[in-house]
Every structure is written in C-alpha cells, then in structure tokens.
Amino acid sequence: MSTQQAPWNARYLLTSGPWRALLYVLTTWPLAGLAGAAVGSLILPWLAAGLRLNDGRLLDGPLLFLMVTALLMFAVLGPLVAIPLAAVERGRLGLIDQRPVRSAHRSVAPEVLTWLRVRFTEAATWREVLYAIFLGLIVPLVYGAYGLLVLIDIGAILSPIFAVSGTDQWTFGVFTVNTFAQAIPLAIGGILLIPVLFHLLGFIATGQAATARVLLGDRDGTALHEVAQSRARLADAFEAERRRIERDLHDGAQHRLTSLTLQLGMARLDVPEDSPAAAPLAQAHDEAKELMVVLRELIHGIRPQSLADLGLPAALRELAARSPLPVTITVADGVQRPAPHVEGTAYFVASEALANVVKHSAAARADLLIAETAGMLVLEVRDDGQGGADPALGTGLTGLADRVAAVGGRVLLASPAGGPTLIRAELPCRR
C-alpha cells in the first residue's frame, strides 16, 4: 500500500484507496458469511450449554454428545476449510495491500497421508484456523456495526424527504426532527459524515488486511529458508558443471593435444635438419607445446587438480608455491575435508585474496590460516602491506563476497590505511 492510499492520510479520499477498501469489504461478505455459519453452527451447542449452566440447570447426554461432536468436527474439518479459505484470502489481500504475502506452509509431497500429517502439525495451519474464526465471529460484528452507521447516515441525509412526506419522525436522543426545516441540519451533518465513513471503512479494511497478513503470512521465514536451500543447490550445480568441463577438457582435449604434439615430435626425428619442412615442423611442434601449457593453465584455473585429488591444504600449498610472495600456510588441528562446493569456494577465496595481496598491497609476505569452529570453515589471509582495501573501489572483494554468500557464508575485512590487511571468510561446512 502506498502511503497516499493509507486511510490516515489526508488525501486518502482522492486516491483509489476507498474504492479498493470498499471492494475488499464487499468481497469479504460472502466469505465471512460462510465462515460465520460454519463457526456458529459448531459453537451453538457450547452456547446452549453456557445458557443452561447460567440458568442453573445441568447438562444432559444429547447436549454433551453434540458438544463433543462439534469439537471433533472443528478439529478435523477446521483445517480442511481454513487452508483453502486462507489461500483465497492471501489472493484477495492484493486488493488493498500490494506487498506480496507468502504462505508459511512447508512444501510437501503430493501424497495424501503425508500432506495431511504435515498440514495438521504445522503452526501455519492453525493460524489459518484462527483467521477463519476471526472472519466468522469478529468481522460480522464489526461490519454489522459499520452497516448500522451507514444506514443511520443515509437516513439522516434523506430525512428532509421523509419530513416533507410526513411519513416519519426522527429522534436522536433529545433531538427530535419533525419538520423539513429541522431536517436540513441533519441532512448536512449526514453529508459531512460521508468522508468520515469512507475513512472508517479504510481503517476497517486495513485492520482486517493486517490481521490476515499476520495470521496467513510467512512469519517464521519458512519461505526464506527454502530460498537459501535452492541457492545451495545452485552452487552445487555450478560446482558439478565446473568439474564436468574440467574433466572433459582433461580427458578429451588435453590427451589429444599431447598425442598430437608427440606425433609432431616423432615427425621431427624423421625430417632431416636441412629439409625445407624442418623449420615449419619445428615451429608447429613448439606451438603445440605452448598450447599444452596454455590448456593446462586453463584447466587449472577451472579447478585445480590438486584440490580434487588431495584436498584443500595440499592445493593451498601448491597455490603458495606459485605465489611470487613467501606465503606460510597454517592448518589448525581437526579440520576435516569439507563438501566439494565449500572446498572450491575456500580455494577461490584464498586464490583471489593472495592475488589481491600481490597486486595491491605492496606486502612482503602473507599468512594463510585454515581452522574449523562451530561447523564453520574459517579461512584467513593476512598480509603486512599498506592496507586501505576498499570493497567500493573494485569488483574483486565484492565478487569474493558474492561467491562466499552463495554457499551461505560471509566475508569479513579489516584493512586500515597503513595496513595490515586481514580477510576472513567463514563458510558453513555441511556434514
């Protein structure tokens, strides 16, 4: 809902707000009527019992039977009615409140028994039942009172006509209307009351919508949890795809290129040095060799072999060996091998962080630490450089954070001007 369309806004009547509220309230009627009839018929035996006890009489067998039956029907049928009703209400909420409201129901296999078991044990279901009771008991009372106000106002506005025709006499407390002249102020008051009634209608509709949002929406963040899960699945799928590409390149292209280069090497042995073919052949052989190096680096960039074969510490030692800076690696006790996508992300973080150290920090050395605390794999890269790393200045650090966020972790950075810089990545490792 935009603020202009809120009933407490002075310009409310100039917006579509009142009409939306009117539509919402009018469409509530049939639903509230149904809910009221259902709830009413079920609490009827209990009302009767309350009256009897009030009169000092005792409850008899048939009434007790009806009370218990009503209670059972409520427990069994209540959710079955409330769940579709809630779905309709969530859809109808869009009439006056544009913010999306998500069902708090967990997704469940389309199998009847499983569905019933999950639904009857979910808090979301019983909040929807509570909403059905609200719709059946409270809403009719409020609407009834409002309807009475509207009727009185219509009467007041039409009172001059009634006065002329002499059909009626109006009494408001001590104020009695008998003649046309007396009815005029009443009619003016009635007309002035119309905007107030519209605002009131807005408040009623907003109140009902707010109640619906609280009771029918996703308060516990169940839906958010599912989003996080699908993000992890996506990260897994990416990781699998990377490995497939890496394996295809390795088992296909790399082998064939090595074989080709070997054939060229063999051919060089057969071609005399003074032959016109010798120079081009030598060049072809050399280029094929260079291509082998390029391809190997490419595959290494996709996913280092040592990471897949030997795990994170070995891959990090290899990474450190390639770095132009001296890098010490410390692996704390008790670090277990994490899931492949976490391992890949940790390696990526280390690789990016070390590349940043080399490129930007003017550091003389770097330290890399891996530890595991409370189900988190912690990776720290520390350098003795000039500091001042700022995520706003480049995409490197934000890319790093994105990659870590994709596996549900986070990146922390301390980099005061003058140094030193410390990057810490925390990655949840699933067991």
* Residues near other proteins (CB under 8 A): 247, 250-251, 254-256, 258-259, 261-266, 268-269, 285, 288-289, 292-293, 296, 300, 305-306, 308-310, 314, 317-318, 321-322, 326
Pairing of strands 366-373, 327-331: parallel
The residue among 197 and 310 lying less far from other proteins, judged by its C-beta, is: 310
Element holding 330 (H helix, E strand): strand 327-331
| Residues 55, 352: Cα–Cα separation, whole Å | 82
Question: Least CB distance from residue 248 to other proteins, whole Å?
Answer: 12
Question: Least CB distance from residue 296 to other proteins, whole Å?
Answer: 6
Q: How far is CA 409 from the centre of its chain?
A: 17
How would you classify residue 425: left for phi > 0, otherwise alpha for psi between -120 and 50, otherwise beta? beta
The residue among 285 and 360 lying less far from other proteins, judged by its C-beta, is: 285
Instruction: Name, in order, each residue with C-beta under 8 angstroms of 406's C-beta and a sequence gap of 6 or more.
Output: 231, 234, 235, 238, 345
Q: Provide the H-helix boundaries in 10-135.
A: 17-54, 61-92, 112-120, 123-133
Question: Least CB distance from residue 274 to other proteins, whole Å?
Answer: 18
Closest CA to 105 of 127, 136, 73: 127
Question: Least CB distance from residue 261 to other proteins, whole Å?
Answer: 4
Residue 96 CB coordination number (10 Å): 24
The residue among 9 and 323 lying less far from other proteins, judged by its C-beta, is: 323
The residue among 105 and 285 lying less far from other proteins, judged by its C-beta, is: 285
Question: Least CB distance from residue 326 to other proteins, whole Å?
Answer: 6
Question: Least CB distance from residue 255 to other proteins, whole Å?
Answer: 4
At position 31, the amino acid (one-letter code) is L
The residue among 213 and 247 lying less far from other proteins, judged by its C-beta, is: 247
The residue among 358 and 405 lying less far from other proteins, judged by its C-beta, is: 358
Question: Least CB distance from residue 405 to other proteins, whole Å?
Answer: 30
Three-class SS state of 370:
strand
The residue among 313 and 391 lying less far from other proteins, judged by its C-beta, is: 313
Query: 151 vs 144, 154, 175, 185, 223, CA distance in Å?
Result: 10, 5, 18, 17, 44
